[in-house]
């Protein structure tokens, strides 16, 4: 049983939030403080990310089990779950295994289908950073920028560049295991039976992760799902339009 790193905010019904690939709980700190006005918010680093344990095994089944163990460890019998991207697949997998532990489910810009590889340039950029000889964050940014031209992605990755106890630069995510098991992230949803509880699939209008033609297959596994798209937002909809995202989630949870 792993002990996952987390931060908590506020008081009220439990709301657990899971980040996406290469992210960490820190990506959600601002929104968590807002949600904390009504909920007991738990931001969680998934395994092989942030300050949670790094392990050789890594897949959605294990991450759903980690979440179940986390709830048991903290005496949370039932909670609202919110997962973005990879975290969305984790909470959906959890919903198939432990539906009785969920009050309401929010999936942020993630579907249930198999996804084609689409992080090749990001993986190359991360691999190109020579951690053992790296002298500054600026040097890392220059190296990553040679592979990527999206400043949002570049700054997102740099947030996960830290130092170890010997002051050497290290990624906060387990790049070796993630790159070896990358296909696990792209895998289609696997559930033993549908989740019958209230579910919100919240997407960005400018994102293609959840398409209108995906809705019917999603409804087979989440028959009470509703779909809502946020204008002027892409895959990182919570960062692109934080106010609209917060209002949509709060409205759904307060019904």
Q: How does pLDDT run across 42-57, given as a tens digit for each residue?
A: 999 999 999 999 999 9
The mean pLDDT value for 139-166 works out to 93
Q: How does pLDDT run across 5-56, given as a tens digit for each residue?
A: 999 999 999 999 999 999 999 999 999 999 999 999 999 999 999 999 999 9
The mean pLDDT value for 72-96 works out to 98
What whole-number distance in Å separates Cα of residue 231 and Cα of residue 203?
Answer: 9
pLDDT of residue 162: 93
pLDDT of residue 169: 96
Q: How does pLDDT run across 192-210, given as a tens digit for each residue?
A: 999 999 999 999 999 999 9
The CA-atom distances, in angstroms, between 44 and each of 66, 68, 90, 131, 155 are: 10, 12, 12, 26, 21
Q: Give the CA angle between residues 210, 212, 214 to the nearest 5°.
A: 60
Active site residues: 85, 235
Task: Say which residues have a Cβ less than 8 Å from residue 17's Cβ, sequence separation at least 6.
Answer: 25, 28, 31, 32, 35, 41, 42, 43, 44, 82, 83, 84, 87
Q: How does pLDDT run across 164-193, given as a tens digit for each residue?
A: 888 899 999 999 999 999 998 899 998 999
Q: How does pLDDT run across 208-227, given as a tens digit for each residue?
A: 999 999 999 999 999 999 99
What are 7's strand-pairing partners?
Answer: 43
Q: How does pLDDT run across 94-104, given as a tens digit for each residue?
A: 999 999 999 99
The mean pLDDT value for 222-245 works out to 97
The mean pLDDT value for 72-78 works out to 98
pLDDT of residue 165: 86
Residue 242, pLDDT > 90, answer yes
Q: What is the CA radius of gyration of the chain?
A: 18
For residue 170, the SS3 value is: strand
pLDDT of residue 82: 98
Q: How does DSSP classify residue 19?
A: -
Residue 73, pLDDT > 90, answer yes
pLDDT of residue 12: 96
pLDDT of residue 166: 86
What whole-number distance in Å separates Cα of residue 83 and Cα of residue 49?
Answer: 14
Domains of the chain: 6-114+187-254 (3.40.50.1820), 120-180 (no CATH)
pLDDT of residue 124: 96
What are 230's strand-pairing partners?
Answer: 204
């Amino acid at each position: 049983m792993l002990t996952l790193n987390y931060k908590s905010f506020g008081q009220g019904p439990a709301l657990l939030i899971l980040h996406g690939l290469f992210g960490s709980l820190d990506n959600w700190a601002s929104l968590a403080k807002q949600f904390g006005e009504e909920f007991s918010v738990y931001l969680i680093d998934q395994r092989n990310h942030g300050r949670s344990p790094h392990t050789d095994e890594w897949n959605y089944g294990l991450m759903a089990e980690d979440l179940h163990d986390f709830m048991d460890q903290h005496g949370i019998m039932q909670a609202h779950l919110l997962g973005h991207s990879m975290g969305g697949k984790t909470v959906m997998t959890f919903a198939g295994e432990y539906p009785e532990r969920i009050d309401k489910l929010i999936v942020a810009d993630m579907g249930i289908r198999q996804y084609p590889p689409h992080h090749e340039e990001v993986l190359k950029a991360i691999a190109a950073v020579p951690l053992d000889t790296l002298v500054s964050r600026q040097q890392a940014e220059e190296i990553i920028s040679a592979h990527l031209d999206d400043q949002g992605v570049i700054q997102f990755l740099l947030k996960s560049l830290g130092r170890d106890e010997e002051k050497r630069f290290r990624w906060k995510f387990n790049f070796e295991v993630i790159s070896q098991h990358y296909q696990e992230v792209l895998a289609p949803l696997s559930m033993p039976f549908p989740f019958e509880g209230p579910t919100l699939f919240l997407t960005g209008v400018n994102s293609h992760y959840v398409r209108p033609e995906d809705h019917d297959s999603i409804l087979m596994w989440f028959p009470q799902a509703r779909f809502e798209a946020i204008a002027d937002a892409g895959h990182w909809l919570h960062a692109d339009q934080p106010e609209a995202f917060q209002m949509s989630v709060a409205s759904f949870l307060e019904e």
